[in-house]
């Protein structure tokens, strides 16, 4: 493994100074820009695989984009992307390769990828084949529970990247799920989660997938034990098993499988490693839905659907690798995010899917983007000299229109927003002969139009609005948005959308010089929770050891807690 080059302080580059001067002089005027340049929409609309991406309603000129591309070149973005693809240890603080892109390389790749002595392609294909066989056996009913019944419900137990990806993709691809199969997802250590998700389930037809990269995560292991106890109790109440170790082990063997990089720990839990699907430390948790972590998805949509899903990712990987920056969608979108964060003082970024099936996409992106780029030091430990990761958030349209869009349209803050829609709905319905999807997408088009062009005081007055109300009814416009349009929400398109945002996140991380693949910021809270647990469960000495604020709060909790 070669040492990684030191990160470049982007703020010292000529491109950055030019961007600062350019930003100071720029007067955003989307109305004027479109009026003066009839080609703007055409010129600033790009394609990446099946995605059409319209960047024309962003607060940029051709010069802005050229300067942003210059900044990307100044930090050798292309070189860093290629370093990731070939398996350099670009996750510097964990000294690891970052190879989620290897998970979706086609089976017939001619030049093999060998990293740190590992034949990556062979290993990936071997696990994919094992997942496909298992998925087929569950879907066909060949895989049976202890009483010989087929699986009807798959419960994925995981958290963070071992939950958010699978649940988001399951929701996105509901129309592709095999009839008669249901997936549920348990993530929170709040016991109400496992309680509610097992409620009403038939233990004889339920399969649990314990998904954890490390197989040490407190939430997942606690929930897995709760689920195992639930299974034993339910089967024993029905007189199917007794309390013997052999009976219980037999039940776990038919109702529990695991996904992990730590197959030894899987065995310690009591799951046969034969019934476990592996992956590798070079797959980050938030980049893992296309690894064995997606086993629940492979069961739900079938191995062929899962292959299409992976091919979608790969199409965007190839677009990113081969397309010049000036036409490269993830590069341009990542650079726009840098532009808004560092030059136009945006603090947040909204992601607004006009596709109800994508309702968990913003939550998924929160981990992808914020766990990746929420950093204050560069990969060599030096402090960053700019703001980094913005807060990602969002809800599906049109629901959001009736909740928080007011602030995006007329508030004091600049909130860049990505609008995502598909042309062909999975569930086309008519309302009195009117295509409801068309009505839905009229909102998608209307919102970006209103944000970009607003409504002037004169236009408000022309509607006969009393003068004293005119200011309240003015829309300033020049609110930036990106419109993403796909033909349909297929497995391939969902893969493309995920890969798009993975690479946007990468681009931002490289510009800022940060390691987008570690997550040390989640460690302190985890450690403190373990230290605090005895105090919460009645250990007076442990309570006395706490700082005054925490001690006071726990004392209040203990007073309130009944029983």
Active site residues: 371, 402, 526
Our CB check for ligand F6P shows the closer of 161 and 353 to be 161
Per CB under 6 A, contacts with ligand F6P among 13-42 are none
Residues 363-402: x/- map of binding to ligand F6P (CB under 6 A)? --------x-------------------------------
Of the candidates 534, 560, 558, 561, the residue with the CA atom closest to the CA atom of residue 545 = 534
Our CB check for ligand F6P shows the closer of 341 and 519 to be 519
Our CB check for ligand F6P shows the closer of 160 and 425 to be 160
Q: What is the nearest approach in angstroms of ligand F6P to the Cβ of residue 421?
A: 29
Among positions 56, 58, 64, 217, the unique one binding ligand F6P when judged by CB under 6 A? 217
Q: Beta strand pairing status for 206-211 and 417-424?
A: unpaired
Beta strands in 322-478, from DSSP E residues, in sequence order? 348-354, 391-393, 417-424, 430-431, 434-435
Of the candidates 77, 169, 177, the residue with the CA atom closest to the CA atom of residue 135 = 177
Instruction: Decide: is 285 part of the binding site for ligand F6P (CB under 6 A).
Output: yes
In degrees and rounded to multiples of 5, residue 391 shows phi and psi of -80, 120
Per CB under 6 A, contacts with ligand F6P among 218-277 are 220
Instruction: Give dist(CA 299, CA 132) in Å, integer.
Output: 8
Instruction: Decide: is 214 part of the binding site for ligand F6P (CB under 6 A).
Output: yes
Q: CA Rg, the chain, in Å? A: 26
Instruction: Give dist(CA 301, CA 222) in Å, integer.
Output: 28
Per CB under 6 A, contacts with ligand F6P among 477-536 are 519, 522
**Interface with ligand F6P by CB under 6 A: which range of 95-103, 154-162, 184-192, 423-431?**
154-162
The three-state secondary structure class of 453 is: helix
Our CB check for ligand F6P shows the closer of 212 and 369 to be 212
Inter-CA distances, 282 with 87, 91, 210, 213, Å: 9, 9, 20, 11
Instruction: Give dist(CA 277, CA 197) in Å, integer.
Output: 23
Instruction: Decide: is 96 part of the binding site for ligand F6P (CB under 6 A).
Output: no
Q: What is the nearest approach in angstroms of ligand F6P to the Cβ of residue 486?
A: 26
DSSP assignments along 221-262, one per residue: HHHHHHHHHHHHHHHHHTTS--SSHHHHHHHHHHHEEEEES-
Among positions 162, 198, 328, 508, the unique one binding ligand F6P when judged by CB under 6 A? 162
Q: Beta strand pairing status for 430-431 and 434-435?
A: antiparallel
Q: What is the nearest approach in angstroms of ligand F6P to the Cβ of residue 78?
A: 27
# chain residues binding ligand F6P, by CB under 6 A: 14
Q: What is the nearest approach in angstroms of ligand F6P to the Cβ of residue 488?
A: 29
DSSP assignments along 273-313, one per residue: GGGEEE--TTS-GGG-TTTGGGHHHHHHHHHHHHHHHHHHH
Q: What is the nearest approach in angstroms of ligand F6P to the Cβ of residue 520?
A: 10
Helical (H) or strand (E) element with 410: helix 405-410
The three-state secondary structure class of 117 is: coil
Our CB check for ligand F6P shows the closer of 285 and 495 to be 285
Instruction: Give dist(CA 409, CA 412) in Å, integer.
Output: 9
**Interface with ligand F6P by CB under 6 A: which range of 81-89, 156-164, 413-421, 458-466?**
156-164
Our CB check for ligand F6P shows the closer of 144 and 214 to be 214
Residues 173-212: x/- map of binding to ligand F6P (CB under 6 A)? ---------------------------------------x
Instruction: Decide: is 160 part of the binding site for ligand F6P (CB under 6 A).
Output: yes
Instruction: Give dist(CA 143, CA 457) in Å, integer.
Output: 67
Instruction: Decide: is 286 part of the binding site for ligand F6P (CB under 6 A).
Output: yes
User: Are 4 and 88 contacting, i.e. CB atoms less than 8 angstroms apart?
Assistant: yes
Our CB check for ligand F6P shows the closer of 206 and 220 to be 220
Between the two ends of the chain, the Cα-to-Cα distance in Å is 57
Establish how many alpha carbons lie within 13 A of residue 461's alpha carbon, considering only the half-sphere containing its beta carbon: 6
Our CB check for ligand F6P shows the closer of 326 and 528 to be 528
**Interface with ligand F6P by CB under 6 A: which range of 34-42, 157-165, 183-191, 480-488?**
157-165
Helical (H) or strand (E) element with 320: helix 295-322
Q: What is the nearest approach in angstroms of ligand F6P to the Cβ of residue 132?
A: 22
Inter-CA distances, 507 with 48, 333, 436, 484, Å: 16, 9, 37, 19
Instruction: Decide: is 338 part of the binding site for ligand F6P (CB under 6 A).
Output: no
**Interface with ligand F6P by CB under 6 A: which range of 84-92, 114-122, 160-168, 435-443?**
160-168
Our CB check for ligand F6P shows the closer of 74 and 363 to be 363
Instruction: Decide: is 295 part of the binding site for ligand F6P (CB under 6 A).
Output: no
Instruction: Decide: is 100 part of the binding site for ligand F6P (CB under 6 A).
Output: no
Q: Beta strand pairing status for 114-115 and 118-119?
A: antiparallel
Contact residues: ligand F6P, CB under 6 A: 159-162, 212-214, 217, 220, 285-286, 371, 519, 522
């Amino acid at each position: 493994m070669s040492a990684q080059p030191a990160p470049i302080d982007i703020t010292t580059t000529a491109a950055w100074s030019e961007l600062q001067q350019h930003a100071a002089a720029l007067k955003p005027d989307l109305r004027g820009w479109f009026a003066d340049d009839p080609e703007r929409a055409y010129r600033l609309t790009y394609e990446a695989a099946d995605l059409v991406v319209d960047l024309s309603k962003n607060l940029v000129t051709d010069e802005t984009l050229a300067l942003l591309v210059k900044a990307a070149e100044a930090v050798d973005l292309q070189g860093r992307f290629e370093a990731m693809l070939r398996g350099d240890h670009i996750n510097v603080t964990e000294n690891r390769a970052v190879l989620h892109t290897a998970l979706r390389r086609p089976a017939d790749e001619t030049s093999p990828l060998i990293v740190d002595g590992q034949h990556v392609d062979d290993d990936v294909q071997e696990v994919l084949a094992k997942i496909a066989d298992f998925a087929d056996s569950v879907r066909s009913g060949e895989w049976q529970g202890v009483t010989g019944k087929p699986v009807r419900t798959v419960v994925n137990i995981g958290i963070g990247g071992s939950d958010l990806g699978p649940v988001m993709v399951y929701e996105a691809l509901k129309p592709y799920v095999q009839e008669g199969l249901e997936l549920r997802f348990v993530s929170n250590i709040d016991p109400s989660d496992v309680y509610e998700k097992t409620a009403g389930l038939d233990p004889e037809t339920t399969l649990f997938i314990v998904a954890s990269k490390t197989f040490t995560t407190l939430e997942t292991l606690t929930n897995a034990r709760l689920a195992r106890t639930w299974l034993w109790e339910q089967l024993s109440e029905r007189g199917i098993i007794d309390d013997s170790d052999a009976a219980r082990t037999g039940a776990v063997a038919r109702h529990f499988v695991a996904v992990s990089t730590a197959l030894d720990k899987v065995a310690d839990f009591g799951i046969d490693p034969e019934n476990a699907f592996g992956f590798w430390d070079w797959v980050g948790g938030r980049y893992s839905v296309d690894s064995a972590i997606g086993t629940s998805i492979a069961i739900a949509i079938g191995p062929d659907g899962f292959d299409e899903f992976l091919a979608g990712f790969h199409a965007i990987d190839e677009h990113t690798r081969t397309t010049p920056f000036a036409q490269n969608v993830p590069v341009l979108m990542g650079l726009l995010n840098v532009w808004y964060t560092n030059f136009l003082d945006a603090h947040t970024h909204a992601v607004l899917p006009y596709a109800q099936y994508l309702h968990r996409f913003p939550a998924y992106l929160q981990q992808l983007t914020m766990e990746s780029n929420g950093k204050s030091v560069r990969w060599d430990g030096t402090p960053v000299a700019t703001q980094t990761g913005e807060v990602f958030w969002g809800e599906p349209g049109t629901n959001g229109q009736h909740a928080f869009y007011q602030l995006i349209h007329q508030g004091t803050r600049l909130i860049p927003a990505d609008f995502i829609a598909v042309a062909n709905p999975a569930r086309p319905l008519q309302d009195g002969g009117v295509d409801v999807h068309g009505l839905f997408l009229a909102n998608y088009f209307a919102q970006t139009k209103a944000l970009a062009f607003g409504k002037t005081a004169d236009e408000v007055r022309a509607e006969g609005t009393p003068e004293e109300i005119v200011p309240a009814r003015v829309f300033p416009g020049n609110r930036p948005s990106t419109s993403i349009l796909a033909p349909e929400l297929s497995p391939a398109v969902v893969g493309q959308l995920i890969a798009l945002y993975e690479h946007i996140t990468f681009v931002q991380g490289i510009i800022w010089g940060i390691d987008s693949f570690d997550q040390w910021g989640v460690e302190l809270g985890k450690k403190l929770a373990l230290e605090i647990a005895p105090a919460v469960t009645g250990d007076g000495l442990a309570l006395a050891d706490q700082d005054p604020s925490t001690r006071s709060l726990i004392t209040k909790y203990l007073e309130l807690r009944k029983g």
